[in-house]
Amino acid sequence: MDSTVLVISGVAILILLIVVVLLSSKGGKKKGRAKSKTAKSPKLSSEINPEAIVNRIFKLAPSELKNAKDEYIGKKVEIRTIFTGSKSSKKGGTYREVSLDFQDNRNIHIIGDLNMRDYKDQSWMTKEGKLRIEGVIKEMRPKEFILDRIKIL
């Protein structure tokens, strides 16, 4: 009888050891608040300051100007602007060619075509309305940026 009690207690201790090892290998549940995932998609465009670009690029020698422009041409950018006017576009009936001014320096103009079908509410078309636009730089001149695929943010 003594040997059966020893065998049963040995088996019980062995089972408890196996359970302890399994629980410790899983790590158990951690107390505290779970971390929230703040994974955001990478920003495809960056906000630029046209005045700084004009001051930096258009003071270069003509031989260096093309390389400096190539850094920006074809790049998707965001610009803070003021709506100044629009007229019909050469692209077709749903497009409008808009002229905008850079918010911090009204002497720098941004020109491009907007697809009016993208905007059900066109309250942004008020004169002097501040807008934030996104587009791809197509051409740069000393006081004028021509953008392609403009979207209002």
* pLDDT for position 10: 86
Residue 21 lies in a domain: no
Contacts of 145 (CB under 8 A, 6+ apart): 50, 79, 108, 109, 110, 111, 137, 139
52: CATH: 2.40.50.140
* pLDDT for position 6: 83
Residue 115 lies in a domain: yes
By DSSP bridging, strand 105-115 and strand 76-88 are unpaired
Residue 8 lies in a domain: no
Phi, psi of 134 (to 5 degrees): -130, 140
* pLDDT for position 37: 53
Query: pLDDT by residue (tens digit) across 54-87?
Result: 888 888 888 888 888 888 888 888 888 888 888 8
Q: What is the mean pLDDT of each run of 10 residues along the chain (153 residues)?
A: 82 88 68 56 70 83 84 88 82 83 86 85 75 89 87 84
Residue 25 lies in a domain: no
* pLDDT for position 68: 84
Length of the chain counted residue by residue:
153
Measure the CA–CA gap between 150 and 114, rounded to whole angstroms: 6
Residue 39 lies in a domain: no
Find the domain containing 124 and state its range: 46-152
Amino acid at the residue 30: K
* pLDDT for position 36: 55
Helix (H) or strand (E) holding 40: none
Measure the CA–CA gap between 41 and 104, rounded to whole angstroms: 29
The residues pairing with 140 across neighbouring beta strands, listed in sequence order, are 145
DSSP 7: H
* pLDDT for position 30: 58
pTM: 0.63
DSSP 111: E
Q: How many domains does the chain have?
A: 1
